[in-house]
Every structure is written in structure tokens, then in C-alpha cells.
Amino acid sequence: MISIGLTGWSDHPLIQQNQTKKLVAYAGHFPVVEVDTSFYAIPKKETILNWIEQTAPAFQFFPKAYSVLTLHKSYKEAFNSLDEAFDVYKDAFRPMLEQNKIKAFLFQFPPYFDCVKKHVTYLRYIKERMGDLPVAVEFRQPSWFNETNKANTLAFLKKQNWTNVIVDQPQTPNNSVPKVPVVTTGTLSVLRLHGRNYEGWLGKNVDDWRAERTLYDYSSEELQELADIVSRLQKEAEEVSVIFNNNSGSHAAKNAKELQSILGIDFTGLGPKQLDLF
């Protein structure tokens, strides 16, 4: 099984003629979406119930872990302990879990989360707090996949039963993680596409480096290369989920549609496509 989705359901004009029902429109085209907003704040239960109501039963979400849980910021701003932060986060998404609408929780760690003992210990703590919930891990520090640590990192992810997030990004000095197309859980493999804007990833003299990084339009040749990777991963994982994060120029939906065409797949169980009549 192959699923394709985008980061967020807003700002995709190719598939959203109706700007008042963006999630409904999105869910008529793709079977999964990454929830980026949950990195910045834990959604209210009412919000999550609304998202569930707007999507078909088979549609799934890929929520980003709250920034406190990935050590981007301290728990002390809003919680008495890290344990409490994890509990509140998990409780918020419980309605989705109960209806099997969570693909996996994406733990994307900051660039300063390097491969050292205290961070491996923290990963074990996350396993204690998340238990058997599906977790996908994206490292943003290359030390996890250097020659010394790569094999141990992958073995550790397999032991935790966590999905290795395979990253596609330009290989700039010091701040890039290599593409490691290795399956670490038999149930799910994730390929997350940031684009290949080399200058944007260098981050020099750029006011909005985040937007610059994801400003990229994959060529047909590059998408064919990625399709080949997906086909190889599919031999080892029950599902391969591809998430396009290259949307600063609204290229993600177009690229996702082309990849779907290259792979020759149709998605079933989608919501009805919205018609913009007026």
C-alpha cells in the first residue's frame, strides 16, 4: 500500500477552489495529511473532533509532536513536568486514536539534538511515554547517520518499533541529514520530501529561511527517482507514506499528483471532491 499526502491542508490552490472548506477539499484528493500546527500548540479536543467530522473514515492524520516533547522548548512554560506534557498531548489525540485515524506521530528533533548518550536516554523516555503508539522519527542532526552511528541508530529504531523517516533534502555542509532508505518497522515506512533548494538550506542572507528551504518544484526525473525508492521500500513495509513538504511556492500538490500518476495508484475511501459552483 502507498499513501501520499502534504504538510497541512491549507495553501494548496491546485486542489482548493473552495477556500472555506479546505480540509474537506483536501480529503477529496489525498488519504493522509501531516498536521503541522500540533508542533506549535496542542489542539483542543473540539478542534480534533471537527477534523474527524470533516474527513472520511479511512482518512488519516500524521500529527507532529508538540515542540515541548521534542525539546525545542522547555515544558516549564505551560506544564509542571514533561510527563504532564506527554499526557495532555496524547489525551488530545485520543479521539483520533480510537477511530484509527492516526498514521503515526512525527517526532522531528531539532538540529542540536545530536547522537549523544543523554539524547539516546531521552528517546528511551519517549518510548516509555508513548508506549505502543505509532511513532515516526526524523533526525535533523547528521551525527545519527554518520559512519560511526548509522548502524546503531537504525538498530535502535527497530528495537523501539519506530519508523525511520527517510528525508529528501539537499546535502549542504553541516546541517543536512542523508537520505537513508531503510525500513525499521514492517508496518510503515515514511518518505518526507523537503525539496532540493540547496541555496535555501544554506540559509545565507535569507529573511525567511524556513520558507526558502521548501521553495522547490521537483522535476519529472526527480519524481521518477523517488518513485523507484518507494517501490523498493514497498517490498519491506506494509505501507509507504510519502509526505511532500515543499510548498513555499505551492508545488507540493502538483508534485504529489505527478508522483501518484508515475506510481499508477488510485486512492479509495476519499471524501467527495468539492465543486466550486459560484
pLDDT at 77 over 90: no
User: Is 5 in contact with 19 (CB distance < 8 Å)?
Assistant: no
The tens digit of pLDDT for each residue in 224-251 reads 999 999 999 999 999 999 999 998 888 9
Nearest to 244 by CA among 34, 2, 1, 26: 34
pLDDT at 278 over 70: no
Residue-wise pLDDT for 132-163, tens only, equals 999 999 999 999 999 999 999 999 999 999 99
Helix (H, G, I), strand (E, B) or coil at 69: coil
Q: What pLDDT is recorded for position 207? A: 64
pLDDT at 137: 98
Query: Do the beta carbons of residue 230 and residue 197 sit within 8 Å?
Result: no
Inter-CA distances, 124 with 120, 136, 195, 247, Å: 6, 14, 31, 33
Whether residue 141 contacts residue 109, with contact meaning beta carbons closer than 8 Å, is answered with yes
pLDDT beyond 70 at 69: yes
**Number of Cβ atoms within 10 Å of the Cβ of 238:** 12
- Residues 6 or more apart whose CB falls under 8 angstroms from that of 117 comprise none
Is pLDDT above 70 for 44? Answer: yes
Closest CA to 97 of 144, 138, 150, 135: 135
pLDDT at 188: 97
Q: Percentage of the chain surpassing pLDDT 90? A: 78
Architecture of domain 2-263: Alpha-Beta Barrel (3.20)
Q: How far is 60 from 184, CA to CA, in rounded Å? A: 21
For CA atoms 129, 134, 138, 139, give the dihedral sign.
positive
| DSSP-assigned states of every residue in 140-169 | -SGGGGSTTTHHHHHHHHHHHT-EEEEEE-
- All cell numbers assigned to 180: 537513508
Q: Is residue 141 a contact partner of residue 112, using CB atoms and an 8 Å limit? A: yes
Q: Which residue bears the cell 538498530?
A: 155
Nearest CA-CA partner of 70 in 36, 35, 106, 97: 106
Count Cα atoms within 13 angstroms, Cβ side, for 115: 19
Residues with Cβ within 8 Å of 243's Cβ and at least 6 positions away in sequence, in order, are 4, 5, 6, 7, 32, 34, 62, 190, 191, 192, 193
Catalogue the E-assigned strands of 169-257.
188-193, 239-244
